[in-house]
Chains A and B, each alone.
Chain A
Amino acid sequence: MKAGVLALQGDFREHAAVLAALGATPIEVRTPEELARVDCLVIPGGESTTISKLARSAGLVDPIRERAAAGMPMLGTCAGMIVMAKRVIGLEPLLDLVDITVRRNAYGRQVDSFEADIAVEGVDHPVRAVFIRAPIVEEVGPGVRVLAEHEGHPVVVEQGNLVVASFHPELVGETRLHAYVLEKV
C-alpha cells in the first residue's frame, strides 16, 4: 500500500517511519502528481500557517479535497488537525474537511507544552500523547465521533474516512492510530 505523507514542512519523516513500520510504502507528497499515486494521506505536525501557504502555492488544496471526498483515508496530527478542520479561530480554513472548530496554540506557549497518558477508544493501553503548542477542539459537529478526550476536550476525532489528533503519536513511535487509518484503505 502506498501511504502518502504531505511533505511540505514539519515532522513528515517521523510519520513516514511509522507507516513503514506498519508495512506500508511511505511516499512524500509535494505535488498533485505525487498525491495521485497514494492510497491514503497523512498530514504531519508542523506550522499550520506555513503548511497552508505551501499547500496553496503547490496547487494541492483542491486535489486533496477531491480525494478526501472520494473516500481517501486521511490522518492529521496537530497542524494536520488544524488544516483539515472546517473552522479555525483566527485563520482561514485550508482543507475544510472535518466538522470541528479548533483554536490554535490553545494550551499556551511552548513552556506549557506537555505530555500525558490518554485513553483512546478501541485501544487497550493508554497512548503517550505529546502536545506541542497544540490546538484545542472547541466544537464538534453531529457527524463527528470523539475517540479520545483529555481534560474535557476531544483530542482524537473521526469523521468517516478522516481521523485527526491534536497531539503527536509519531513522536513516540506510537503506531496504533496510523494502523487504524490504514485499515480504512
Chain B
Amino acid sequence: MERETGTFRVKSGLAEMLKGGVIMDVTNAEQAKIAEDAGAVAVMALERVPADIRREGGVARMADANKIEEIMRAVSIPVMAKVRIGHFVEAQILQALGVDYIDESEVLTPADEEYHIDKWAFTVPFVCGARDLGEALRRIAEGAAMIRTKGEAGTGNVVEAVRHQRTMLRQIAWLQGLRPEQFVAAAKELGAPVELCRMVAEQGRLPVVNFAAGGIATPADAALMMQLGVDGIFVGSGIFKSENPAARARAIVEATTHYNDPDVLAKVSHGLGEPMPGIDIKELGEEALLQTRGW
C-alpha cells in the first residue's frame, strides 16, 4: 500500500492523460485563464512566446518564479514550464516550485552545448523536442517521458513540424522492416540505444507520447498533425499572437478532437480573425533556426 512517486509510469502517465489535447503557451495568469476556458489540457508558462524571443533576441531563460506561481494559482489544469537545454538547476527550481511538467526546450538559449539534463534524477516529468527518431530515443534514454516534434517555433509555419513527424514515421517503418541482425547497425546509424530501437520496431510507435510543436497556427494545422499520427498539439505563439486568441484557442481544441471530421473542421475554421503573421523558413537563414539546438 506504499505510495511510489516519480516512477516512469507515473511520469509518462500524465502525458497519456494529455493525449488528444492542446497545450498552450501563456505568459501571464490572464492568458492562462483564456487557455483553460478554451479547453486547453495544460499551459506552458514562459516569459515571452517564441515569436517574441525570435524578434527580440538576447538570452532566453526560464521564466521568473513569480510569473510561474501566478499562472499555477490561476488554473486547475497542469502547468508546464521551459528550461534551457542542459540547465539542470533551472529544472531543480521548477521541480521545487511544483511545476507539473518541464520542457527542456531549444526555444530557450542552450546552457550546455554538449549534454542534455539527466532527467532520471527528477520526480517531475520532462518533455523534449526531436527532429527525428534518433533524437527522440536519445532524449527518452536520458529519461524524457514525453516527446514533441521541434518544428520551427515562433514562425507560424507548420512545414518543419510536418518534416519532423514524417521523418519519425519513415524511420519507425524502416525499423519495423529490419531483420534481427540489422538492429545494432540501425542503432548506430540512428545514434540511439538498441533496446529502444527494438521496442519501437515491436510497437510500431515511440515508447512515449509524441505531440506536435513548432509552427502550428490554425485549426487545420492542428488537424493535419493529428492525421499524421501525433498524439496531441502544442501551440506556442499561434494563439496569443493572433487577432482573436479565445476564439482561435477554442477552434484549435475542437479541431484536435475532431481531426478526422472535415465537416467539424470547416465549421470551426470560420470567423477566427487574422492568424499570427508567418515566416518562410527559407528566409530565416541557418543561424536563426531554433531546431538545430540540442543533438
Contact = CB atoms under 8 A, between A and B. Distances in A.
Interface string A91-125: 10000000000001100111111111110000000
By secondary structure, the B interface counts as: loop
Interface string B101-143: 1000000000000000000000111000000000000000000
A184 to B, nearest CB: 26
B78 A46 contact: no
Interface in B85-111: 95, 98-101
B147 interface: no
A54 B78 contact: no
B1 A9 contact: no
A109 B1 CA distance: 20
Given A110-B124, A113-B10, A150-B1, A46 B20 contact: yes
Nearest to A45: B17
B182 to A, nearest CB: 29
Contact of A9 (B6, B9, B19): B19
B206 interface: no
Interface stretch (B55-63, B194-202, B251-259, B281-289): B251-259
Interface residues of A, number: 42
B156 interface: no
Interface of B: 1-7, 9-10, 13-14, 16-21, 36, 38-42, 76-78, 95, 98-101, 123-125, 253-254, 257-258, 261
7 contacts: A9-B21, A47-B41, A49-B77, A90-B76, A104-B76, A105-B76, A115-B10
Given A11-B19, A30-B258, A130-B13, 17 more contacts: A12-B19, A30-B257, A45-B17, A46-B41, A47-B17, A47-B21, A49-B36, A50-B21, A50-B41, A53-B253, A109-B100, A110-B99, A111-B123, A114-B3, A132-B13, A171-B16, A172-B9
